[in-house]
Amino acid sequence: MDAASDASVREQWEKLARLVSQYQFEYYIAGESSVPDADYDALLAQLVAVEEQLGSVPEGSPTQKVGGTFSTEFEAVDHRQPMLSLDNAFSLEELQTWAGRVHSELGGSQVSYLCEVKIDGLAVSLTYERGELVRALTRGDGRTGEDVTLNVRTISSIPNRLAGDPATHPRLIEIRGEVFMKVSDFSDLNEKQARDGGKTFANPRNAAAGSLRQKDPRVTAARRLSMYAHGVGAVEWEGAAPSDLSRQSGMYTLYEQWGIPVSSHNSVETTLDAVQQKIEYYRDHRHSIEHELDGFVIKIDEVSSQKHLGSTSRAPRWAIAFKYPPEEVTTRLLDIQVNVGRTGRVTPFGMMEPVLVAGSTVSMATLHNFHEVRRKDVRPGDTVIVRKAGDVIPEILGAVESLRPEGLPEWQAPTHCPSCGTQIREAKEGDKDLRCPNAASCPSQLRERVFAIASRGAFDIEALGWEAAVALCDPESSRPVGPEAPELEGPELVPLLTSEAQLFDLADPSSALRAGLQDIVVWRERKLKSGTKWELIPYFYSKATASKPSVPTATTEKLFTEIEKAKTQPLWRVLVALSIRHVGPTAARALAAAFGSLERIRQATVEELAAVDGVGTTIAESVIEWFSEDESNRWRLNIVEAWNHAGVSMEDIQDESIEKTLDGLTVVVTGGLENFTRDSVKEAILSRGGKASGSVSKKTDFVVVGANAGSKETKARELGLRILDEEQFRLLLDNGPAAFATDDAEPEESL
């Protein structure tokens, strides 16, 4: 085949492939075909024939796709123009200050305010090329988003092809907007989910996010999502723009002609008074519009003024989000319960009749501490005021005293820990908080510590999450509580693990502890068509049936391997796992690098510890305090001894073969590398004497750039820093900066 015909076959392939993909998508995902099956079959046959002519099957060809194998991979893709955020105003004064600044920046010229409701959803960027939707991305970090094209194609109000005169379609445009779920669609979805025993969502935003980020677009297709456009990113016109686009509102008119949905709540106002009226209107009607809102957005409508005002790296100066004050509602307080945290702090919280506030149903709210409960004088049986701001934990503000039933008794704070029964008290005189002093073996505290030990920043035992920590250390806490909790028949559940000292015994197949996992059960609520049922289920083992005996589940097997692997983690992870106050991953790395073994850290004086770069007196004193051996601390040292005995490595093997090639150098790694994880790249730099930094500055010596690197790469280029790819980074690790030395010294003149 000569080059010209090769190109034309290729072109033919592309055309056919696009059509076949579209029809496959309609048929398998969207559930409605626009062509008869026979036409589709004929097209597919043609495509196969063209592929034979080509001599190979191009990657991603629809001929290789079996129906329903579409899957969104959420590939990271850069936005052509960054997706910015918005600055906030929390009061009318702040709004006036912003408007005053804008006004003076623009030399006092008249402005129009484009007023929009702030939709509580997820920002997306839709790229249309010559009228065709080619890509949909989430906002991501603003520079790089995730490819959700297949999922967005299932949203019926987003056109795959722009409507209107094709002459008005730009060569390329990034249309920015918000994907959301209407309140009515959200209620329908939750009802259906509850009926089918599926997961229900806390609010429309979560439902929209959960639906858009589905691996299987068929699930997205089954959810009703909506979108309103609220901006524009990159635009490239073929010739001149088709209409007057000197205002953002003009762009919206064009969007409407293209069939892109735009909010009916938008308006253009010319005075700040009129803007304020709109703000008040939507504050009072926030629950009577079709979607949840989390504020009100005011934009300068004139595009030339927008350009003049410009943007910071975070947000445009020509727009601002007005945030409404947190919502307050009333409900009945059923009971006050307490929770015991990692450090033994006892926190009271209210159990309430479920109530909808700021878009989600809440039935629990914090009361902070006992002092607060007394001060607010809230009593079970009271009508209480609950406040919630966005994602913030709901809190009980106080009781409506006029509605208090006569003779309602004051709440009596517990005197003993609800988890272990130890008497609770102030750690120090005058403390607002009460604590359970049984740090060593209170099931509730242990559960929180074990969860922390297994977390990513410590031993990184993925199979030991929150529920497994509950099952191991505090299974009783899976029993429902509160005045409305069902009465459950069943024995008191006794914890298997009574100290984290025992944790590594689970790696030993012959240990009694490991055998005990078979008997661990927890309470679980099962949703049935006729209601819900609580039952005791084995946590670590499968249920035995007539034909199959009970065996460890796959996750439990994983738990064994991961615990075994955790024994050889570097020293800093052991330090973090010990829950020493103030010792997080950074301090732990510094201590590990300076001392090399737990024993040497234990022997060190405050001065020696505090002298380490990155460790101050506070951390040093905390370390000393942790290791100090008095009666109340002995249990901590038992942990160290038990872990040591179980084979947990307590020192970093100094690999003498690793040369200090990066001594004194600061290296920043940005983006994903193929052969390193985030942790292993850091280890590689630190073990060679270098400093691994998270931010680019003039002091950075090398910047390693991996896949989808973002703003750090841009900054590094602006600063003219030395940039390396992964392969060059390996050379740097092995040979140090000499690998890249440019010999720019003048050659010596030969005499």
Q: Is 231 in the site for ligand IVH (CB under 6 A)?
A: yes
Residue 175 Cβ vs ligand IVH, minimum distance, rounded to whole Å:
12
Residue 87 Cβ vs ligand IVH, minimum distance, rounded to whole Å:
9
Considering only residues 19, 254, 279, 319, which one is a binding residue for ligand IVH as defined by CB under 6 A? 319
Q: Which residue has the tokens 């055309």?
A: 15
Instruction: Give 100-103 contacts, CB < 8 A, sequence gap 24+.
Output: 102/300, 102/305, 102/309, 102/317, 102/318
Considering only residues 17, 50, 84, 593, which one is a binding residue for ligand IVH as defined by CB under 6 A? 84
Q: Specify the 3-state DSSP secondary structure of 335.
A: strand
- Asked if 520 and 538 touch (Cβ cutoff 8 Å), the reply is yes
Nearer to ligand IVH, 314 or 332 (CB): 314
Nearer to ligand IVH, 299 or 345 (CB): 299
Q: Is 114 in the site for ligand IVH (CB under 6 A)?
A: no
Q: Is 123 in the site for ligand IVH (CB under 6 A)?
A: yes
Q: Is 118 in the site for ligand IVH (CB under 6 A)?
A: yes
CA separation for the pair 424, 413 (Å, rounded):
10
Distances 661 to 298, 589, 664, 738 between C-alpha atoms, Å: 54, 19, 9, 9
CA separation for the pair 184, 289 (Å, rounded):
10
Considering only residues 126, 162, 321, 601, which one is a binding residue for ligand IVH as defined by CB under 6 A? 321
CA separation for the pair 348, 338 (Å, rounded):
4
Q: What is the DSSP string of 639-707?
A: HHHHHHHTT---B----TTS--TTTT-EEEEESB-SS--HHHHHHHHHTTT-EEESS--TT--EEEE-B
Nearer to ligand IVH, 123 or 469 (CB): 123
Q: Is 118 a catalytic residue?
A: yes
Q: Fill in the per-residue mask, 139 to 158: x = in contact with ligand IVH (CB under 6 A), - = not in contact.
A: x-------------------
Q: Is 726 in the site for ligand IVH (CB under 6 A)?
A: no
CA torsion angle for 427, 432, 434, 435 (degrees, to 10)?
-50
Considering only residues 204, 233, 316, 348, which one is a binding residue for ligand IVH as defined by CB under 6 A? 316
Nearer to ligand IVH, 85 or 711 (CB): 85
CA separation for the pair 500, 640 (Å, rounded):
10
Residue 714 Cβ vs ligand IVH, minimum distance, rounded to whole Å:
19
Q: Is 85 in the site for ligand IVH (CB under 6 A)?
A: yes
CA separation for the pair 361, 394 (Å, rounded):
10
User: Which stretch, 16-24, 83-91, 376-384, 702-710, contacts ligand IVH (CB under 6 A)?
Assistant: 83-91
User: Which stretch, 100-108, 113-121, 197-205, 509-517, contacts ligand IVH (CB under 6 A)?
Assistant: 113-121
Q: Is 359 in the site for ligand IVH (CB under 6 A)?
A: no
Q: Which residue has the tokens 């690999």?
A: 655
Helix, strand, coil fractions of the chain, as percent rounded to 5: 35, 20, 40
Q: Is 217 in the site for ligand IVH (CB under 6 A)?
A: no
CA separation for the pair 659, 397 (Å, rounded):
60
- Asked if 116 and 251 touch (Cβ cutoff 8 Å), the reply is no
Task: Name the token pair of 581.
Answer: 């106050």
User: Which stretch, 159-167, 313-321, 451-459, 603-611, contacts ligand IVH (CB under 6 A)?
Assistant: 313-321
Q: Is 175 in the site for ligand IVH (CB under 6 A)?
A: no
Considering only residues 16, 25, 114, 116, which one is a binding residue for ligand IVH as defined by CB under 6 A? 116
- Asked if 422 and 442 touch (Cβ cutoff 8 Å), the reply is yes
Catalytic-labelled residue, pool 15, 118, 299, 432:
118
Nearer to ligand IVH, 255 or 349 (CB): 255
Distances 568 to 409, 589, 595 between C-alpha atoms, Å: 56, 16, 17
Q: Is 51 in the site for ligand IVH (CB under 6 A)?
A: no
Q: Is 297 in the site for ligand IVH (CB under 6 A)?
A: yes
Nearer to ligand IVH, 316 or 736 (CB): 316
Interacting residue ranges for ligand IVH, rule: CB under 6 A: 84-86, 116, 118-119, 123, 139, 178, 230-231, 297, 316, 319, 321
> Which residues are the active-site residues?
118
